[in-house]
Amino acid sequence: MAGITGFNEDRFIYVPAPHTADVICEELYESLVDWNLDEKISTVTLDNCTTNDADGLEPLKNTIENIRESVAYWTATPKRIEKFEEIAKFVKVHMKTKISLDCKTRWNSTFNMLSIALPYKAVFIRASRVDKQYTCLPSEKEWNFAAEVVERLRMFNDITELFSGTQYVTANIYFMKICEIRVKIRQWSICGNPLLETMSANMIAKFDKYWSDIQGLMGISTVLDPRLKTLSLLMCFEWLFGTTGQVCEDKVALVMDLLRDLMIEYHVEVEEEETTTAPTSNMEFLSSFSARVASTRPESMMYKSEVERYLEDGLVPLDTKDFNVLNWWKVAGSRYPTLRRIAKDIYAIPITTVASEAAFSTSGRVLSDHRSSLTPQMIEALMCSQDWFRNKYRVDDKDKNAASFWSCLQDIQEGL
């Protein structure tokens, strides 16, 4: 089964074995042709593995397996769910949230399963006494270990939710939060628990693999937040490397070099637009004349001055109430026209993508090892219906916020 998710479209297709890149690519291409989208897409983003059957929590698999099997047992049928709820009432445990089985390849799904199951420890213990078929009750040691894992993963979950926002800019918060994660992983690597240390080693390997590909652009997005600029970037590199001095300053300098390269590229684009459009009024002529005069100045003066003026201006207080970085560039940022264009493009980029298997977890797992006989057509009907209902009843205020997000970007673009 494969899931393809668009802005307002979900499609679930049966993909025959073997699930090789060629087979999946062919199915994807046929779907795009069927939707008449094959000539309207420039890029497609996929995960980087052929079979997504492991993640950073793989070392913990055996330790939390009894909790997973317990949840699977008590959610297998409606009758067992009802019985579990009756036992909870008997032991006077209020069930705020129903237990749900995780997707083994998604750490946040495992986090949710464990965090929900832990408060019902007494229910599981009582259930083992009244149902002799239930034989996978976790030990006290396993419960304690699960509690420790949940506390360590809670930060990841909170940051993931922050990164997944759709009604506000996310690129400017990336660097600080990623540094926070990296520092925590470093601490876990020397915590004394062999399993957690192995888990952290896996996480560090993944972190280092992707870090070099994205740090430059995300560094620029940090600099372009008037509350952060280069000082915040320097502190982040100090946290990452666990040191201060020239090494960190050199990293900041590389980011600034990249920003200045973008300044040249974006300024050329502005100049081409201005020279290809004939002025229709005296004011437009004067504006074009001023731009042409500016373009005759030495590059070192033209590009450095705008960046340096921006950096030399004081920082916006970090605790400014209801600060909106897009609104700032829309109003105050008009003093830096080229930087403003860069900010408009970078801040339009969301820093997360939705994993392909995440579509199956929007309301718990529709397909699992314990319930896997639904047809592709039924899966598509269930998931699409859920998506339509969710969008239909979305809170109006959130829609207004989303509209405001994109209108700010449009206003910035129209003002250039």
* pLDDT for position 360: 45
pLDDT in tens, 76-94: 999 999 999 999 999 999 9
Among the three residues 160, 176, 197, which one is the final residue of a domain in this structure? Answer: 160
Q: Which of 54-58, 61-65, 375-379 has the largest mean confidence? A: 61-65
- Buried residues in 312-337 as b, exposed as e (16+ CB within 10 A): eeeebeeeeeeeebbebbbeebeebe
Which region among 80-84, 164-168, 241-245, 271-275 has the lowest average model confidence (pLDDT)?
Answer: 271-275
Among the three residues 123, 140, 160, which one is the final residue of a domain in this structure? Answer: 160
104 shares a domain with 203: no
pLDDT at 225 exceeding the cut of 70: yes
259 shares a domain with 128: no
Q: How confident is the model at residue 105 (pLDDT cuts 50, 70, 90)?
A: confident
Query: In the chain, how many domains are there?
Result: 3
Residue 151 has phi, psi (to 5 degrees) of -65, -35
Mean pLDDT of the 1-9 span:
44
pLDDT at 359 exceeding the cut of 60: no
* pLDDT for position 193: 86
pLDDT at 98 exceeding the cut of 50: yes
| Owning domain of residue 400 | 2-55+350-414
108 shares a domain with 211: no
User: Is this prediction's pTM over 0.75?
Assistant: no
177 shares a domain with 147: no
* 380 vs 221 pLDDT, higher one: 221
Q: Which of 11-20, 189-198, 288-297, 348-357 has the largest mean confidence? A: 189-198
299 shares a domain with 211: yes
* pLDDT for position 407: 60
358 shares a domain with 293: no
Among the three residues 111, 136, 160, which one is the final residue of a domain in this structure? Answer: 160
296 shares a domain with 183: yes
216 shares a domain with 309: yes
Q: How confident is the model at residue 307 (pLDDT cuts 50, 70, 90)?
A: very high
* pLDDT for position 268: 64
328 shares a domain with 261: yes
89 shares a domain with 50: no
Task: Kindly give the pairing relationship between strand 2-5 and strand 10-13.
Answer: antiparallel
* 272 vs 255 pLDDT, higher one: 255
374 shares a domain with 334: no
366 shares a domain with 329: no
* pLDDT for position 380: 75
